[in-house]
Amino acid sequence: MATNSQRYQGYENITFDWPAQGVLRLTLSKPERMNALDAKGHAELADVWKEIDTDSEVGAVILRGSGRAFSAGGDFEMIQEMIDSFDSRARIWRESRDLVYNIICKSCGSGRGACTRCGDNVQYAPRQLGLTEPRIYISDLLAHTQYTFEIQAVNGVTDQSAFSPQFASVNITTN
């Protein structure tokens, strides 16, 4: 079994330290690029969680960015590579497979009163929960009704959080 000094060697985009016993701190280490991840950095960030999961000395993880930004996201070269190459897109999707999306539908009637969860009449294809693709087909909405759809991003540890899942909202009114 690798010791902690050996376990996290070989990463080019992430540095590691232990600010307290049982606490592993990962720092995205490309401050000159606002910690934007290239393809290798994205792969490292996806893979490191598998390594951490097998490390019995880790009780908590802090993820931070060096410099003035946490992370600008994917760098433009990686994004262009994803646009140009299906194989690159598929690789990035596989690396991110722990992240899934849930669609929470709320019906707001004709705009009066509080919104309530949508009933069983609303249909989702391929499904409402655990979406891995960036699209969904929603049908059988009621006429003259305002809807709010919450798109939640969740992963394997979301249920462990004391906070509600993060989401974006889309408001739709049917005719």
How do the domains of the chain map onto residue ranges? Answer: 4-95, 100-173
Radius of gyration of the chain (CA): 20
- What 8-state DSSP symbol labels residue 37? B
Q: Which residues of 82-119 are buried (b: 16+ CB within 10 A; e: fewer)?
A: beeeeebeebbeebeeeebbbbbbbbbeeeeeeeeebe
pLDDT the model gives residue 116:
92
> What's the rounded Cα separation, in Å, for the pair 154 and 137?
20
Decide if 4-95 and 100-173 have a common fold: no
Please tell me whether residue 155 adopts helix, strand or coil conformation.
Answer: coil
pLDDT the model gives residue 37:
84
* pLDDT over 70 (residue 156): no
Contact 30, 13 (CB under 8 A): yes
Q: Which residue has the higher pLDDT, 64 or 90?
A: 64
Structure tokens that stand for 171 in this block = 């408001």
Write down the architecture of domain 100-173 according to CATH: Sandwich (2.60)
* 4-95 to CATH, choices 2.60.40.1890, 3.90.226.10, 3.30.465.10, 3.90.1150.10: 3.90.226.10
pTM (global) more than 0.75: no
> What's the rounded Cα separation, in Å, for the pair 17 and 80?
33
pLDDT tens per residue, range 4-63: 667 888 899 999 999 999 899 999 988 888 888 888 888 888 888 878 878 888 888 899
Region of residue 33 (phi > 0: left; psi between -120 and 50: alpha; otherwise: beta): alpha
Structure tokens that stand for 72 in this block = 């600008």
CA 117 centroid distance within chain = 24
Structure tokens that stand for 5 in this block = 């000094």
Residue 120 φ then ψ, to 5° = -70, -10
* pLDDT over 60 (residue 79): yes
Report the sign of the C-alpha dihedral through residues 157, 160, 163, 165, in that order. Answer: positive
pLDDT tens per residue, range 109-145: 655 668 899 989 999 999 999 887 778 899 999 888 8
Residue type, 135: R
Contact 74, 42 (CB under 8 A): yes
* pLDDT over 50 (residue 1): no
